[in-house]
């Protein structure tokens, strides 16, 4: 790290003066102490922060922490995709000139920035010089330039942000077809990004005088996060958002990983300090199907999926109000040319907007593994089929650790997510669009008493807030207070470039405070108040996740019986298959309406919830009955609108030894078929 150094003679004089001043008595002034939020020394030269005043510490009158939460960022993406896609670094021991420079491949005129030129820059050129001029980058449209320089993140922290979720990410196919300086294994990239994030923590610590003294604090639990936030610092949460975690890709719909790979991978992520994760991202993998991309990017991703898996996205008509994004159909000849001869991107039916691929059995195993390890589950990027199944599973065991971090979940799931105890962050859209999106769910946040986050997706190959214009009504005026009575924020300066949110939009992470002020001017102080409550709400979800314990299944391994069992030459559909803990086995009845399945709970138990995991042959009408003696039965719950899948029946707790599922009307021409039955107390 390059630092300012004072000449020997001058340093001696300054030291003597400081010593003399420190000894002054009543008539003199003591040496001013360095404010805790200011570093002892910075790299020289460096970007400015341009925020003055003390960051808030402690808690409010209710004992809640305060602060904004960025639920979706990618601090270390420069290390991903082969190391050449995102140019520049968030920090460098060699200083800002090394950290904020363009990739050599972009010289002399930016024509080598292939992905950016295909997706956002019709001109296909940019001034490659970063520090100190920053003529063309970063900008609110950039996809291939560093937006998370440490001093910019510091500016966001100083002005009120208290939680930063940084997702470790990569994509092996994008890496393989792009210029690179390393291998394309996604897990190797994740390990490297985690290592570099810890190095960045050390880098900041060094400026503040040693280990643990800096503002950039990686946290592994909500208790650690709360302690950091109470001290007025930034709690950094590690997440994972990658396309084929643990090697869990699929090739021609055949999984390339095992349960042991998943267990080993999840254990490794926890050891790295990872607290949240996406099960799938961009490509349909061995765990789940994805929510599609639109436009040019959709075509690029769909081609990438085919190159990785041998399959394009497949669609079907949606069965509920939720739907996936329309698939991008824009022609991208440069990318489509990489397909095998005679292969082309399919055309899709506009009436079929749902991915056929949901949460696979391996995906369910990974989801259970995340819950058992207390990890927060990110449902953005899951197809609605996968997200619905994941929510069914989490809701059935009352697991609160669910997060939608950047507006990639169908909005119709929002109340269900809040009801489960989860947290929502909205993509940091253009300020007007963000205010409108926030207003659409404001009643739900009020109902559940939750705050709001924003997911910036910086370095995530996505778009960022565009400027409203220097002539916009009620534009941001500088300087401004970042929140009521908060630090004073002026225009941010990096080298020769001075940034203004009115004309530059969300060009980099340092402009988050400016964007929040723009949101305040359009949406009012109450909306900023909801954003300031975001950190506490995020911790509420994380705390509940850490406190969760899987409820005991009173039916597991119990003696099961049934009115009938379908005959098969190749497998067994006996009643015990529904309580063996294996989702790949099942009980199936004969093809009649009046059929039942029952289990002995071994002794009288207090029960109040039954989980039924139906195979496609499910009941439309059925009832749940209990008995003390296996002869006299009483009904505790019933329905005539069974929908199949994973169904939860809650009823007034009662004591019984035997439980029976009694079907009265089939939903298909087949019998009734249960993969698993779980019985819980309440």
Q: Which helix (H) or strand (E) holds 191?
A: helix 186-207
Classify residue 63 by burial, with Cβ atoms within 10 Å: 0-12, 13-18, 19+. exposed
From 454, 451, 428, select the one nearest 540 (Cα to Cα): 451
Q: Contact at 8 Å (CB) between 382 and 390? A: yes
Q: Contact at 8 Å (CB) between 425 and 408? A: no
pLDDT, position 178: 85
The per-residue pLDDT for range 659-668, each reduced to its tens digit, is 999 999 999 9
Q: Contact at 8 Å (CB) between 358 and 287? A: no
Straight-line distance from the first to the last Cα atom of the chain, in angstroms, rounded to the nearest whole number: 58
**Alpha helices, DSSP H only, in 310-413?**
333-336, 361-372, 384-396
From 207, 208, 233, select the one nearest 219 (Cα to Cα): 233
DSSP state of 67: -
Report the DSSP pairing between strands 492-494 and 51-52: unpaired
Structure tokens at 257: 């990983």
Q: Which residue has the tokens 């002794």?
A: 603
599 in the Ramachandran plot: left (φ > 0), alpha (ψ -120 to 50) or beta?
A: beta
Q: Which helix (H) or strand (E) holds 8?
A: helix 8-22
Q: Contact at 8 Å (CB) between 236 and 202? A: no
- Quick one: 68-289+357-463+474-547 is in which CATH superfamily? Metal-dependent hydrolases (3.20.20.140)
CA 82 to chain centre: 22
Please state, in angstroms and rounded to a whole number, the distance separating the CA atoms of residues 130 and 134: 4
Q: Which residues of the chain have pLDDT under 70?
A: 1-32
Q: Which residues of 346-377 are buried (b: 16+ CB within 10 A; e: fewer)?
A: eebeeebbbbebbbbebbbbbbbbbbeebbbb
Q: Which helix (H) or strand (E) holds 267?
A: helix 259-272
Please state, in angstroms and rounded to a whole number, the distance separating the CA atoms of residues 38 and 61: 27
Please state, in angstroms and rounded to a whole number, the distance separating the CA atoms of residues 257 and 131: 44
Please state, in angstroms and rounded to a whole number, the distance separating the CA atoms of residues 293 and 73: 19
DSSP three-state, residue 554? coil
Q: Which residues have a Cβ under 8 Å from the Cβ of 513 and sit 6 or more positions away?
A: 51, 155, 156, 159, 160, 161, 482, 489
Q: Which residue has the tokens 């904020």?
A: 100
Structure tokens at 264: 């080993």
pLDDT, position 484: 82
Q: Which helix (H) or strand (E) holds 114?
A: helix 114-119
* CATH code of the domain made up of 559-681: 2.60.120.260
Please state, in angstroms and rounded to a whole number, the distance separating the CA atoms of residues 437 and 425: 11
pLDDT, position 32: 64
DSSP state of 673: E
Structure tokens at 111: 């024509």
Q: Contact at 8 Å (CB) between 543 and 222? A: yes
pTM: 0.91
68 DSSP β-pair partners:
161
Distances (CA, A) of 59 to 65, 157, 263, 421: 5, 16, 38, 22
C-alpha R_g of the chain: 28
How do the domains of the chain map onto residue ranges?
Answer: 68-289+357-463+474-547, 559-681
């Amino acid at each position: 790290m390059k630092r300012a150094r004072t000449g020997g003679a001058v340093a001696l004089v300054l030291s003597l003066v400081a010593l003399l001043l420190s000894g002054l008595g009543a008539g003199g002034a003591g040496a001013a102490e360095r404010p805790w939020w200011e570093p002892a020394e910075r790299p020289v030269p460096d970007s400015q922060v341009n925020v003055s005043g003390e960051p808030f510490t402690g808690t409010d009158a209710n004992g809640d922490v305060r602060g904004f939460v960025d639920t979706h960022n990618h601090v270390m993406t420069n290390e991903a995709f082969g190391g050449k896609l995102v140019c520049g670094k968030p920090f460098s021991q060699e200083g800002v000139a090394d950290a904020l420079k363009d990739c050599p491949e972009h010289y002399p005129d930016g024509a080598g920035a292939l992905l950016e030129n295909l997706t956002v820059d019709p001109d296909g050129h940019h001034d490659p010089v970063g520090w100190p001029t920053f003529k063309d980058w970063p900008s609110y449209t950039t996809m291939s330039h560093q937006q998370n320089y440490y001093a910019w993140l510091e500016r966001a922290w100083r002005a009120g942000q208290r939680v930063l979720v940084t997702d470790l990410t990569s994509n092996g196919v994008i890496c393989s077809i792009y210029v690179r300086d390393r291998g394309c294994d996604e897990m190797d990239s994740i390990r490297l990004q985690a290592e570099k994030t810890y190095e960045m923590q050390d880098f900041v610590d060094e400026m503040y005088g040693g280990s643990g003294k800096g503002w950039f604090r990686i946290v592994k639990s909500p208790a650690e996060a709360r302690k950091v936030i109470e001290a007025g610092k930034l709690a950094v949460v590690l997440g994972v958002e990658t396309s084929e975690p643990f090697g869990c890709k699929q090739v021609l719909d055949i999984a390339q990983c095992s349960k042991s790979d998943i267990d080993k991978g999840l254990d490794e992520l926890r050891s790295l300090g990872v607290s949240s994760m996406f099960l799938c991202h961009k490509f349909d993998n061995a765990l789940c199907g994805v929510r599609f991309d639109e436009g040019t990017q959709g075509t690029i991703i769909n081609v990438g999926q085919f190159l990785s898996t041998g399959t394009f996205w497949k669609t079907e008509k949606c069965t509920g109000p939720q739907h996936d994004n329309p698939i991008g159909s824009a022609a991208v000849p440069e990318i489509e040319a990489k397909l095998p001869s005679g292969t082309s991107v399919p055309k899709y039916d506009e009436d079929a907007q749902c991915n056929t691929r949901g949460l696979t059995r391996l995906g369910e195993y990974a989801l259970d593994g995340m819950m058992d390890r207390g990890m927060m589950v990110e449902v953005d990027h899951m197809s609605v089929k996968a997200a619905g199944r994941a929510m069914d599973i989490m809701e059935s065991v009352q697991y609160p650790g669910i997060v939608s971090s950047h507006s990639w979940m169908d909005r119709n799931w929002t109340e269900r997510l809040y009801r489960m105890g989860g947290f929502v962050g909205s993509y940091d859209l253009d300020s007007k669009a963000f205010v409108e999106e926030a207003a659409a769910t404001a009643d739900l946040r009020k109902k559940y008493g939750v705050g709001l986050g924003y997911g910036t997706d910086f370095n995530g190959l996505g778009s960022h807030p565009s400027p409203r214009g220097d002539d916009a009504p009620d534009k941001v005026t500088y300087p401004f207070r970042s929140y009521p009575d908060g630090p004073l924020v002026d225009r941010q300066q990096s080298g020769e470039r001075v940034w203004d949110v009115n004309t530059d939009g969300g060009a980099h992470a340092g402009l988050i405070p400016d964007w929040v002020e723009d949101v305040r001017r359009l949406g009012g102080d109450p909306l900023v108040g909801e954003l300031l409550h975001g950190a506490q709400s995020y911790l509420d979800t994380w705390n509940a996740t850490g406190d969760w314990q899987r409820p005991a299944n009173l039916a597991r391994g119990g003696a099961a019986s049934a009115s009938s069992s379908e005959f098969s030459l190749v497998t067994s559909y006996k009643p015990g298959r529904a309580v063996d803990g294996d989702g790949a086995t099942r009980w199936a009845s004969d093809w009649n309406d009046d059929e039942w399945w029952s289990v002995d709970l071994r002794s009288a138990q207090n029960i109040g919830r039954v989980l039924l995991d139906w195979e496609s042959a499910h009941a439309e009408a059925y009832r749940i009955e209990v008995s003390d003696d296996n002869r006299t039965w009483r009904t505790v719950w019933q329905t005539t609108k069974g929908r199949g899948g994973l169904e939860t029946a809650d009823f007034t707790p009662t004591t019984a030894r035997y439980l029976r599922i009694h079907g009265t009307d089939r939903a298909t021409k087949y019998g009734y078929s249960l993969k698993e039955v779980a019985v819980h107390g309440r």
